Amino acid sequence: MTQFRILWSALLILALTVSPQAVRADDECMAADEEQRTKADVAAALKAEKSAKQAELFIAYQSIADHYCAHLFDKNGKDLQARAKANLPKLGRDLAKAAEAKGLLYSNEPVYTIVGAKKDKNGNTISEGTRRANERASAFAWLETSGDHNEANRVMLKAAHAKSDNLEFFKTAWDVDNGRYEQVDRKTGERKPYASPAAYRQELQKIASANADRLMKAEEKDAAGLSGSAMDVGMASGRSMEKLKAASDWMKFLPNGDKPARARAEQRGDTIMKRSDPTFTQMNAKAYYEFAGSSKAKEKLAQLEKKSEESARAMEKSAEKVKGAVTIEKSEADQKKFKKGKADLEKELGF
């Protein structure tokens, strides 16, 4: 009896201390249709290996490379996974090279599309469909999917230089690391965010700097109109502000930010306020000061607004005086007209 109790206690302790990792296969591969899906993926990969279609082989390898259940449900699974992991990087580079030769550097197109996916009327999945290689996939997509971030960055920089004046595309290139992660740490199980080498963003900053310089030089030509008539000032300041704001957008990616663009805006506001007709052009100066945003610019803007309010009140008072004068004159004219009418009536009646 004592031996039975000892054995039972030992089994209980063993059951309570078994690591969750020990039953990982059961946890992830117990789904009713998992065996069927796994065998289908293995079969697709084996079939793709016999074909000469690199893109289809890449997609098949990608599906099986990290498939946890492959070696459990198929005798070929373990060796197939090893081949997939070994060959995926080269396949990705070859496919990227072909896309790059066609000029397909970057696009939002994924490397595969889903064909034949079906859902019932309640939205439940009936068929997950089949992955098919996307002929419109870009060089960047193939490299990024295969995990070759360095080569993907090279292609992205090439595309950024080709579209050097496209700010929206530049932002895409700048944020390339969003969603990227390092390989899983086998000891901790963690995946740290991936960070591109500093040289990558330094190259992008050259593009941003070139665009900012171009716009600042173009703004100088527009600003020449600030010395013309009040109408010229309105047109010139509009074009000038457009260039300064555009330059500012590019400068935000540079170490010193957009300070040069804002400082010049304040200078343009000062230039307008030195004119002999600031009353008619101060609205343009206000726009410059608002964009400049410095403490001095804010003070100047506050002074302008104060003067504008004072001018508005003065004009209101002047308008009231004019209105009063007109009312008095009208009243005097009406009285004269009444007296004349009264005299004419009395004369007619013989009084």
Residues in the chain: 351
pLDDT for res 107: 95
Q: Are residues 153 and 246 in the same domain?
A: no
Same domain, 165 and 214: no
Tokens of 42: 């293995």
pLDDT score, position 43: 86
Do 162 and 233 fall into the same domain? no
Is there a single domain that holds both residue 162 and residue 251?
no
Q: Same structural domain for residues 170 and 43?
A: yes
pLDDT tens digits for range 148-161: 999 999 999 999 99
How many whole angstroms separate alpha carbon 227 and alpha carbon 68? 73
Average pLDDT over residues 63-89: 83
3-state secondary structure (DSSP) of residue 112: strand
C-alpha dist (Å) from residue 244 to 140, 170, 225, 255? 33, 18, 15, 18
Name the average pLDDT for the chain: 85
3-state secondary structure 27-48: HHHCCCCHHHHHHHHHHHHHHH
Q: Are 89 and 144 in contact (CB under 8 A)?
A: no
Which residue among 276, 293, 310 closes a domain? 293
Measure the CA–CA gap between 246 and 264, rounded to whole angstroms.
Answer: 13
Are 108 and 42 part of one and the same domain? yes
* Confidence (pLDDT) at 322: 66
Distance separating alpha carbons of residues 100 and 159, to the nearest angstrom: 10
**8 A C-beta contact, residue 158 and residue 205:** no
Q: How far apart are CA 109 and CA 106, in angstroms?
A: 8
For residue 156, tell me if it sits in a domain: yes
Is a pLDDT exceeding 70 seen at residue 239?
yes
Number of domains in the chain: 2
| pLDDT for res 122 | 79
Residues 86 and 170 in one domain: yes
Quickly state the pLDDT bin for 321 (edges 50, 70, 90): low
Q: What is the pLDDT of residues 244-271, one digit of tens each?
A: 999 999 999 999 999 999 999 999 999 9
In degrees and rounded to multiples of 5, residue 71 shows phi and psi of -75, -10
| DSSP-assigned letters across all residues of 210-233 | HHHHHHHHHHHHHHGGGGS-HHHH
Long-range pairs for 150-155 at CB < 8 Å and ≥24 separation? Answer: 150/197, 151/93, 151/96, 152/176, 153/196, 153/197, 153/200, 155/96, 155/100, 155/105, 155/106
Residue that is last in its domain, among 179, 200, 234: 179
User: What Å distances lie between residue 197 and 244, 251, 259, CA to CA?
Assistant: 31, 21, 26
User: Are the C-beta atoms of 143 and 151 separated by less than 8 Å?
Assistant: yes
Kindly state whether residue 344 falls inside one of the protein's structural domains: no
* 148 and 243 belong to one structural domain: no
CA–CA dist 171, 197 (Å, integer): 17
Each residue's pLDDT tens digit, 289-298: 999 999 999 9
Angle at 270 between CA 268 and CA 273, to 5 degrees: 115
At a CB cut-off of 8 Å and minimum separation 6, what does 240 contact?
219, 222, 223, 225, 226, 268
For Cα atoms 171, 172, 175, give the angle at the middle one, nearest 5 degrees: 85
Strand partners, 118: 127
**For residue 41, pLDDT beyond 90:** no
Mapped onto helix, strand or coil, the DSSP state of residue 102 is: coil
Rounded to two decimals, what is the model's pTM?
A: 0.76
Q: Which two tokens stand for residue 305?
A: 């607004």
Q: Judging by beta carbons within 10 Å of its beta carbon (0-12, 13-18, 19+), is residue 338 exposed, middle or buried?
A: exposed
On whether the CB atoms of residues 278 and 272 are closer than 8 A, the answer is yes
| Residues 120 and 232 reside in one and the same domain | no
Q: Classify residue 317: in a domain, yes or no.
A: no
Helix extents (H) in the chain: 2-17, 24-29, 34-50, 54-65, 70-73, 77-101, 139-145, 149-162, 167-174, 198-223, 230-251, 259-273, 278-292, 295-349
Of 161, 179, 197, the one marking the end of a domain is: 179
Q: Is residue 329 part of a domain?
A: no
Based on the domain organization, do 162 and 38 belong to the same domain?
yes
Domain that holds residue 222: 209-293
